[in-house]
A and B are shown apart, each in its own frame.
Chain A
Amino acid sequence: DAGITQSPRYKITETGRQVTLMCHQTWSHSYMFWYRQDLGHGLRLIYYSAAADITDKGEVPDGYVVSRSKTENFPLTLESATRSQTSVYFCASSHTETQYFGPGTRLLVL
């Protein structure tokens, strides 16, 4: 578990601001994923990446941007934060089917 980290762990921002959540893994896993977790919805996939420079949309991509210039990093950017993006964000990585999750970032948009 220590192989995948997220920062910051907690973030408070205001509507309209840009926010970037960081995800770093030390396993050299090819696949990386971003989920948001909201009560009643479970975990929903925002974006995923199969390798460096390869990204694709998940179930709920609107309002988010990702990049993956290096295998170990997969930042998630909220270009103009909205209150509906208040959530807990989890990053995950995998080499095969099994995904390993980071500790999460709790984001509050005021």
Chain B
Amino acid sequence: GENVEQHPSTLSVQEGDSAVIKCTYSDSASNYFPWYKQELGKRPQLIIDIRSNVGEKKDQRIAVTLNKTAKHFSLHITETQPEDSAVYFCAVSTSGTYKYIFGTGTRLKVLA
């Protein structure tokens, strides 16, 4: 079955710096790659997603890149702010199933 690895598990950056989180997956049939942000005690919330027919997508300070050949995708956050501190999860879905396999999460700390 599908396997998703996420790195790093924790990441500390200075305010204003960039943060990058990477996920690798195993199933070449996977075609949808969302990223969720989860603040302490809250529900996961979608922040950006990308489909397999697109290589990059950007939304203000957040971007996601996808390399289908290497089976990895990355979340990029620029100009980090303290409110970006949270746990970020990547997920992978295969066409027609709508099921997700999640990565194990990255705890991002933005230091003021």
A interface list, Cβ under 8 A from B: 1, 31, 33, 35, 40-45, 48, 50, 58-59, 90, 94, 96-104
Q: A42-B105, A43-B89, A97-B93 are in contact. Are A102 and B43 (CB under 8 A)?
A: yes
CB distance from B58 to the nearest CB of A (A): 18
Give the tally of cross-chain contacts (CB within 8 A): 52
25 pairs from A and B in contact (CB 8 Å cutoff): A1-B45, A31-B98, A33-B99, A35-B102, A41-B104, A42-B89, A42-B102, A42-B104, A42-B105, A43-B102, A44-B102, A45-B101, A48-B98, A94-B98, A97-B32, A97-B93, A98-B46, A98-B49, A99-B34, A99-B46, A99-B98, A99-B100, A101-B43, A101-B45, A104-B43
Q: Are A90 and B44 in contact, CB atoms less than 8 angstroms apart?
A: yes
What residue of chain B has the Cβ atom nearest to residue A99's Cβ? B100
Of the candidates A35, A42, A96, A104, which one forms a contact with B98 in the assembled complex, judged by CB atoms under 8 Å apart? Answer: A96
Instruction: Report, as a range, how many residues of chain B touch the other chain.
Output: 20 to 34
Q: Is the interface of B mostly helix, strand, loop or mixed?
A: strand
Output the nearest chain B residue to A45 by Cβ-Cβ distance: B99
In the assembled complex, how far is the CB of residue B109 from the closest CB belonging to chain A, in whole angstroms?
A: 17
Q: Is the interface of A mostly helix, strand, loop or mixed?
A: strand
Instruction: Please determine whether B98 and A43 come into contact, CB atoms closer than 8 angstroms.
Output: no
Q: Say yes or no: A1 contacts B43, CB within 8 Å.
A: yes
CB pair A58–B99 under 8 Å, yes or no, is yes
